Chain A
Amino acid sequence: MHVREPLFVTAILLTTIVAPAMAATTQNLNILGIREDYFYNYDFLSRTASSTNVDWPVTMLFYNNADVNKVKNIFDGGIPGGYMYLKLNDGAGWVWDRDTGTGTKHVSSVYDDRWLHMRIYADSDDRMYNLNWGYYVLGTTHYDEAWSESWSGYSEDAEEEYADEASSSGYTVYEDWSYWYNPEPYRNESNHIWSNNGYTTAVNVP
C-alpha cells in the first residue's frame, strides 16, 4: 500500500553544519528534532559527526512499533556490511549507534549487478519512543557494486526498492513522506555516488 500524503508530525531542522567540499562530503548535514528527540540526517564513517565524514543520508523512518531486529526481519537476509555510525538523542543525551545493516540483497539488471543495503539505527535498546512516532528506528539506504564494490550509492533508488519490498510484504508505506533536508543531486565523488531527493520514506511497523 503506497500512500503519498502527510501522515503525522515530522522532524524539524535545528542546526546546519556546513563544511568545505571534499570526498564523501555533504553541504546538508543537519540535526533534526521531533519533540524531545534529535538525530543527524546522515550516518558517519566513524564516531565523528562532521560533514566531511558522512556515509549516506537518512532515507527511511520505521515507526509505531518498530525495533532494529523487527525491521531487519522484514527484509531478505544475506551478508551484512561494515559498521557505520549514527548520532542520536532519545531525550536522555546524545549517543552513537553503530550498525552493519540488513543482509545485503543481490539485484541484477542488464546494466550491472549490485547489492541492496540498509543500515538501521536506534539507541542502545534498539528503539526510540516519542508520542508522535511511537517506537521508531532510522535507516540509510544505498547500493554497492556487486563484485568489487567499485562504486556505492544511489540512495534514492535504494530507498524506493526498500519501500516497494516493505509494501509488497504488507506494510503501510508513505513514500517520500517528509523532507529531511538531505537532498543530494547526482554526483560522483570518488565512486561515492550521491543521489537523494531529500524526502524520507515512512513505514508503519505494526
Chain B
Amino acid sequence: MSLASGKSSKLFPIFFLIFSPSVFAIEQLEVIDSYGNWTLNTLGYPPIVFMGQNDTESYTVRYILPPNASQGPGDWYLVNLNFLIEFSKNSTNGYAYVSALTNNRSSALIKFTVKKNNDSLLINWSERNLLGVSRYSTTSSVINVSFTNYLQYQGVIPGVNTLTFKLEQHGDIKVKRLEISPTTGIELTPLSPPELKLDVKLPRDSISNGDSFIINFTLKNFGDQPPEDVLVRAVYPKEALELVGDASYYAPHLENKLEGQFEFKALKKGDHQIVIMTETISGIKRPSARILVPVGDKKGFSPLLLPIAVAILALLTYFFRKNR
C-alpha cells in the first residue's frame, strides 16, 4: 500500500501557538497537502523512543490538513507505522499493545502476546488493518514491525490533527524500548480501498431437463487497491444440476476484473437456486448473486406431431395424385 514518497509541492509551514504551563512556545506545523508519505522526519519530528517505564506511555505529534480534508472518497489518509520493540528477557507472561491514533481515533493496534518458553521468550503478534489480519511468531526478543492502514473517518479533520503513539503493557512483561522509526507517518493517497461488484448474466433461453446452460460473471474492483486471494465459485443443488466446466476462478491480486463462466447441465425438472459467491482474504464486502433457474420438462416427440404429420402427408398424396 505504500506509495513513492516525495511531495509534488512545497511545504507550507504554519506557525501555531501552543500553551504550556511554564512558557509560551511557537510550534511550526507542516501542512499535508500533496500525495506521498509524510514521515515524522518531514513533519519535523525526531525519532520517538519509549523506555517502557510505565504501564501506559504515549507521545503526540501534530500536523495540519487542508480545510476540505476528509477520509475519502477522493483522497485517502493512511498511517504508516514502523517501529522496533524489544522485550526484556526477564519477561514471563503477558501482552503489550502498540497503537497509533489520529485525533484519538485508532488506526493501528498491534498486539504482542509474550510467553516464557524455558529460558527464551515466545512472542506472537498480530496486525489487523482494513484489508485483513497477519499473524507472526518469534523467539527473538527484538521485533521490527512495518504496518499500514486506512485511518478511521473521524481520524481525519480539517486543521490541526494529532498523531499519538501509545505503548500499553499488561501482565508480567517488560518492554525495554520501543523506537518509532522516523519513516513512520501519515500517507495521503488517491488510492481507495478495494470495492468489489459482481455482475451475472443469466441464460437467455428456457431450459429443459437435460439441457446445458451457461452463467457468465464479471467481478470488477472499483477501488484502487487490489483485494488479495479472490475466488469466485458457484453453490448449487447437486442432485438437480451438474457443473460441467470450471468449478471456480481465482485471482491472487484483483487489479481490474475477473471474468468467467459456469456451465451446468440440468438433471431434474424444477426451480433450482444457484449462488455465485465471492471470497477474499481482504476484509471487504464480498458480493454474491442468487439466481433462480426454472428447468422444464425434457424436450421430446410431441404427441400432436403425429396427426399433423399424417395430415400433411395425406394432403401431399392427394395433390400429387390429382395433378398426375
Is B87 at the interface (CB under 8 A from chain A)?
A: no
Per the bound structure, the CA–CA distance linking A88 and B153 in Å amounts to 22
Q: Which of B105, B129, B149 contacts A64 (CB 8 A)?
A: B105
Q: Which of B155, B166, B279 contacts A93 (CB 8 A)?
A: B279
Is B285 at the interface (CB under 8 A from chain A)?
A: yes
B126 contacts A206, C-beta separation under 8 Å: no
Is A50 at the interface (CB under 8 A from chain B)?
A: no
Is B190 at the interface (CB under 8 A from chain A)?
A: no
Known contacts: A92-B132, A125-B111. The answer to whether A65 contacts B99 by CB under 8 A is yes
B109 contacts A135, C-beta separation under 8 Å: yes
Is A90 at the interface (CB under 8 A from chain B)?
A: yes
Which of B71, B107, B152, B282: most chain A CB closer than 10 A?
Answer: B152
Per the bound structure, the CA–CA distance linking A206 and B101 in Å amounts to 9
Chain B 73-99, CB-CB to A under 8 Å as 1, else 0, gives 000000000000000000000010101
Is A159 at the interface (CB under 8 A from chain B)?
A: no
B153 contacts A127, C-beta separation under 8 Å: no
Give the contact-size bracket for chain B: 35 or more
Per the bound structure, the CA–CA distance linking A91 and B285 in Å amounts to 6
Residues of B116-160 at the interface with A, using a CB-CB cut-off of 8 Å, are 126, 128-130, 132-133, 135, 149-155
Residues of B49-88 at the interface with A, using a CB-CB cut-off of 8 Å, are 71
* Minimum distance in angstroms from B11 CB to a CB of chain A: 28
Main secondary structure of the interface of A (DSSP, over half): loop
A91 contacts B109, C-beta separation under 8 Å: no
Chain A residues with Cβ under 8 A from B150's Cβ? 131
Chain A residues with Cβ under 8 A from B285's Cβ? 35-36, 91
B109 contacts A127, C-beta separation under 8 Å: yes
Chain B residues with Cβ under 8 A from A91's Cβ? 282-286
Residues of A13-41 at the interface with B, using a CB-CB cut-off of 8 Å, are 35-36
* Minimum distance in angstroms from B150 CB to a CB of chain A: 6
Per the bound structure, the CA–CA distance linking A125 and B112 in Å amounts to 11
A64 contacts B106, C-beta separation under 8 Å: yes
Chain A residues with Cβ under 8 A from B286's Cβ? 91, 93
A129 contacts B126, C-beta separation under 8 Å: no
Known contacts: A36-B285, A92-B281, A125-B128. The answer to whether A67 contacts B109 by CB under 8 A is yes
Is A73 at the interface (CB under 8 A from chain B)?
A: yes
A129 contacts B111, C-beta separation under 8 Å: no
Q: Which of B153, B170, B281 contacts A69 (CB 8 A)?
A: B170
A129 contacts B153, C-beta separation under 8 Å: no
Residues of A145-202 at the interface with B, using a CB-CB cut-off of 8 Å, are none
Per the bound structure, the CA–CA distance linking A92 and B71 in Å amounts to 22
* Minimum distance in angstroms from A109 CB to a CB of chain B: 32
Per the bound structure, the CA–CA distance linking A176 and B137 in Å amounts to 40
Per the bound structure, the CA–CA distance linking A129 and B152 in Å amounts to 9
Residues of B265-284 at the interface with A, using a CB-CB cut-off of 8 Å, are 279-284
Is A77 at the interface (CB under 8 A from chain B)?
A: no
* Minimum distance in angstroms from B80 CB to a CB of chain A: 16
Known contacts: A36-B283, A132-B153. The answer to whether A73 contacts B126 by CB under 8 A is no
Is B104 at the interface (CB under 8 A from chain A)?
A: yes
* Minimum distance in angstroms from A123 CB to a CB of chain B: 8
Q: Which of A36, A129, A132 contacts B129 (CB 8 A)?
A: A129
A127 contacts B283, C-beta separation under 8 Å: no
Per the bound structure, the CA–CA distance linking A8 and B168 in Å amounts to 26
Chain B residues with Cβ under 8 A from A134's Cβ? 105-107, 152, 155
Chain B residues with Cβ under 8 A from A125's Cβ? 111, 126, 128, 133, 135
Is A126 at the interface (CB under 8 A from chain B)?
A: yes
B153 contacts A131, C-beta separation under 8 Å: yes
* Minimum distance in angstroms from B152 CB to a CB of chain A: 5
User: What is B's interface to A at a CB cutoff of 8 Å?
Assistant: 71, 95, 97, 99, 101, 104-107, 109, 111, 126, 128-130, 132-133, 135, 149-155, 166, 168, 170, 279-286
Interchain residue pairs with CB less than 8 A apart (17): A36-B283, A36-B284, A64-B106, A64-B152, A69-B170, A70-B97, A70-B168, A93-B279, A125-B133, A128-B128, A130-B130, A131-B71, A133-B152, A134-B107, A135-B109, A135-B128, A206-B104
Leading 5 A-B pairs by shortest Cβ distance = A91-B283, A65-B106, A125-B126, A36-B285, A135-B109
18 more CB-based (< 8 A) A-B contacts, given A124-B133, A134-B152: A64-B101, A65-B101, A65-B106, A65-B109, A70-B170, A90-B283, A91-B285, A92-B280, A125-B111, A125-B135, A127-B109, A129-B130, A130-B130, A131-B130, A131-B151, A133-B152, A135-B106, A135-B109
